[in-house]
């Protein structure tokens, strides 16, 4: 079983590359856990790192979480759902949120579900105009409260509701318009633009970067932990109830 993420550090930049393009860079739970741990270790292990770039191989950025055999058995209760599924995903959002390094998403292709939420969770997001974004979990009756906890600090409520309840899919320009991304460029210029941002950030004093990041995070999501906890509790309970209902009617 190969890892779905490649981790690299060079010249003040940490890079996480989603590297399972044959599956649309869908992330397994072990990928998610590994990413959280690696981000959490960055400051302690490599204090000279100032920026974290999240990028992907292939035409797709990330289609979401991989469906793994044996996952989510019908009898799973809210507590085990939270431990086995909810908390690992929230831990990744928290790692990006709390890390002192500046995170930059380089989005060359489609980002759906978890992939879309990861774009929102990064401090900066530069996206290709042709990239598509969606939160399609409700097609499977899965309330995407975890993704919303990452998306809502940047995206206004009506746009988020359109993505979740309206089943909307938006392109790169619309992603900037609603606040999901910060910049949109033509696909052929994406790498050069992110390279320029990384070069600029690496040249800055680390205290200046930490100060700006901490302020932006606090101003944009003062109740981040409260929102994440609510998202976790609601999803764990909903998934348990939905499975119980499916078992009764199945």
Residue 114: which CATH number?
A: 3.90.226.10
Domain contains 214? no
* CA 117 to chain CA centroid, nearest Å: 4
Tell me the average confidence (pLDDT) per consecutive run of 10 residues in the chain, 250 residues long.
Answer: 87 96 96 96 87 98 85 55 78 92 98 98 97 96 91 93 97 98 98 98 94 85 61 60 58
In this predicted structure, what is the pLDDT of residue 249?
61
Q: Is residue 221 part of a domain?
A: no
> Do the domain assignments include residue 32?
yes
C-alpha 101/C-alpha 109 separation (Å) is: 24
Residue 163, judged by CB atoms within 10 A of its CB (0-12, 13-18, 19+), counts as: buried
The number of distinct structural domains making up the chain is: 1
Does 226 fall in a domain? no
In a domain, 168, yes or no: yes
- In angstroms, the CA 79 to CA 36 distance is 21
Strand-strand pairing, 169-171 and 5-10: unpaired
Question: Is residue 243 within 8 Å of 74, Cβ to Cβ?
Answer: yes
Q: Using the CB atoms, write b or e for 127-137: b if 16+ within 10 Å.
A: bbeebbbbbbb
Distance between CA atoms of residues 155 and 173, nearest Å: 14
pTM score, whole prediction: 0.87
What would the two tokens of residue 59 be? Answer: 């035409």
Domain membership of residue 211 (yes or no) is no
| Residue 113 within any structural domain of the chain | yes
Tokens representing 34 are: 């590994």
Full residue range of the structural domain in which residue 54 is found: 5-202
Question: How do strand 51-56 and strand 13-18 relate by DSSP bridges?
Answer: parallel
């Amino acid at each position: 079983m190969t890892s779905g993420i490649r981790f690299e550090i060079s010249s003040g930049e940490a890079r996480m590359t989603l590297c399972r393009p044959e599956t649309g860079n869908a992330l397994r739970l072990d990928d998610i856990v590994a990413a959280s741990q690696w981000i959490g270790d960055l400051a302690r292990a490599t204090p000279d790192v100032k920026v974290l770039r999240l990028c992907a191989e292939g035409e797709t950025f990330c289609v979401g979480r991989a469906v793994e055999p044996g996952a989510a058995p019908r009898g799973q209760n809210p507590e085990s759902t939270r431990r086995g599924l909810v908390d690992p995903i929230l831990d990744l959002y928290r790692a990006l949120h709390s890390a002192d390094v500046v995170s930059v998403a380089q989005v060359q292709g489609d980002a759906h579900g978890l992939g879309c939420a990861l774009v929102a969770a990064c401090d900066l997001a530069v996206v290709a105009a042709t990239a598509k974004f969606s939160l399609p979990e409700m097609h499977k009756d899965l309330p995407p409260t975890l993704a919303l906890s990452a998306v809502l600090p940047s995206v206004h409520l009506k746009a988020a509701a359109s993505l979740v309840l309206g089943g909307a899919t938006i392109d790169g320009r619309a992603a900037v318009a609603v606040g999901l991304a910060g910049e949109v460029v033509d696909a052929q210029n994406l790498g050069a633009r992110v390279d320029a941002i990384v070069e600029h950030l690496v040249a800055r004093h680390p205290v200046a970067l930490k100060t700006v990041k901490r302020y932006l995070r606090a101003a944009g999501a003062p109740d981040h932990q409260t929102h994440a906890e609510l998202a976790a509790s609601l999803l764990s309970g909903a998934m348990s109830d939905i499975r119980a209902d499916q078992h009764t009617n199945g």
